[in-house]
Amino acid sequence: MKILVIGSGGREHALVWKLAQSKRVNKIFCVPGNAGIAGEPKTRCLTLDPAGDLDAIRQFALREKIDLVVVGPEVPLAGGIVDLFDGTGVKIIGPRRQAAQLESSKIFAKQFMSNQGIPTAEFFVCDSADQALDFVKRSSYDYPVVIKADGLAAGKGVVLAKDYSHAETTILEFMTEKVFGEAGSRIIVEECLRGRECSFMVFSDGEHYQPMVPSQDHKRVYDNDSGPNTGGMGAFSDDALLTAEMRTTILRSIVEPTLRGMSGEGTPFRGILYCGLMLTPQGPKTLEFNCRFGDPETQPVLMRMKTDLLDVFEALLENRLHQLSLEWSPDPAVCVVLASGGYPGKFDNGKPISGLAEVSRMKDVKVFHGGTRAATQANRVGRESPFQTAGGRVLGVTARGPDLPSAAARAYEACSKIDFQGMHYRRDIGVRQIARNAGPGEAP
């Protein structure tokens, strides 16, 4: 089979890596991919723009007789790429544009949850800066309060405002200064939930679903969940994140009502449903929905997946997920993101990366590239560094181990062997005891 994967980050590298393991896959294209993806077996990267020219991607898929398209990031889904493939005969993984509103519009998602009785935080929709400022002045919500841009903002459109001054600044940045463009023209102000965060993803064919193993993302740039939000500085997957009883509660109170509600509104959800959760003393509540695999959660989750991913995608497309039995390794996995100096603010690209060849020889370790490009011969470090930095989140160093401390230790051992100018990363991914992860927070 010929597969086309859309995207350029660590999530897409993990998808390509996993799909390449299938004996039935003989060629994978990735648009636009990155230098690490280009080095995977059976894989070729192409310079097409998945954020802009969706029709060019459709034409390429038809010309190359692609059997299956897998959409990684949210922007093409929000742009209607799945709808664009209607009638082409090319199969594609992902929800249609209307269903993708669960992610592309936080207001749509919150109102949907409210209508379906899905547990979530109390919220208020604001259509103007004056309305938002007035609400936070008279709100009964305790600080911190959560302020969310309605539209897509690359994972950075959520702010935990610690006091009124911080809330005012954020509202004006979003709604008046338009730091996220039209994505911030409407906002949500909501109560801050307290508890422990968890990412829970499921495959859905619109009627049936298959859950993945749980994971936990780390959005803040610094240790102990401090500093500004990022696209994700690391994640780990461990069965101990959720008890069997809690998994059942999440499926019954959140996943099933979501899929049932979407079908009832005439927009069945087919693809990957990502539930960002807060496990509160009152039970699990929904922070957000994403309509695709999370990044960096995908990296440790797929490290644990034993089932052929192609089999799962085919069952999803053929509405027979309920006939499938997924197999997972019981071993936890940890992904640590190595970021460029200055990220999530301004950063420079083109920094040579060293140490990857040594890490490639480590057992149960895989480095997924997020923001890299091929280095010119003149910029290589010695003879072993064909890569340069080309993004904020450069690499996702991912390791599996017999228990969470072992997996974390292996990941950090690998991190210590890699270097590029300005490199920084969190030192507490998967290291703190799960019970200590409690506290106020949001999953942006």
Whether 204 and 178 map to the same domain: the answer is no
Q: What is the CATH number of the domain that holds 161?
A: 3.30.1490.20
Between 211-215, 266-270, 383-387, 436-440, the lowest mean confidence (pLDDT) is in 436-440
What mean pLDDT is predicted for residues 213-234?
A: 94
What mean pLDDT is predicted for residues 391-400?
A: 98
Over the stretch 288-312, which tens digit does the pLDDT of each residue have? 999 999 999 999 999 999 999 999 9
* Contact (CB, 8 A) for 423 and 340: yes
In a domain, 121, yes or no: no
Task: Identify the pLDDT of residue 178.
Answer: 94
Position 438 pLDDT exceeds 50: no
Count of structural domains, the chain: 4
Closest by alpha carbon to 404, among 176, 182, 238? 238
Whether 156 and 250 map to the same domain: the answer is no
Whether 312 and 198 map to the same domain: the answer is yes
Burial 201-216, CB ≥16 within 10 A → b, else e: bbbbbbebbbbbbbbb
Position 18 pLDDT exceeds 70: yes
* Contact (CB, 8 A) for 79 and 152: no
Over the stretch 155-182, which tens digit does the pLDDT of each residue have? 778 999 999 999 999 999 999 999 999 9
Q: Name the DSSP letter for residue 227.
A: E
In a domain, 351, yes or no: yes
In a domain, 107, yes or no: no
Given pLDDT bands bounded at 50, 70 and 90, which one contains residue 48? confident
Q: Which residue has better confidence, 230 or 119?
A: 119
Structural domain of residue 284, as residue ranges? Answer: 194-329+435-440
The model carries a pTM of 0.93
Rounded to whole angstroms, how far apart are CA atoms 435 and 54? 44
What mean pLDDT is predicted for residues 309-328?
A: 97
Position 357 pLDDT exceeds 50: yes
Task: Identify the pLDDT of residue 49.
Answer: 78
Closest by alpha carbon to 240, among 409, 439, 402, 444? 402
Rounded to whole angstroms, how far apart are CA atoms 31 and 45? 6
Over the stretch 224-236, which tens digit does the pLDDT of each residue have? 999 988 999 999 9
In a domain, 254, yes or no: yes
The label of the residue with tokens 């990735």 reads 30
What mean pLDDT is predicted for residues 219-226?
A: 93
Q: Single out the residue in 185, 203, 234 at which a domain terminates.
A: 185
Whether 218 and 250 map to the same domain: the answer is yes
List C-alpha distances in Å: 149 to 127, 342, 343: 11, 23, 21
Whether 293 and 206 map to the same domain: the answer is yes
Given pLDDT bands bounded at 50, 70 and 90, which one contains residue 153? confident
Position 443 pLDDT exceeds 60: no
The one-letter amino acid code at 251 reads L
Considering Cα of 251, then 431, then 394, then 43, what sign does the dihedral take? Answer: negative
Closest by alpha carbon to 337, among 416, 198, 444, 232? 232
Q: Which two tokens stand for residue 354?
A: 């060293």
- Write the secondary structure of 290-321 as one string of H (helix), E (strand) and C (coil): ECCCCCCCHHHHHHCECCCHHHHHHHHHCCCH
Whether 325 and 340 map to the same domain: the answer is no
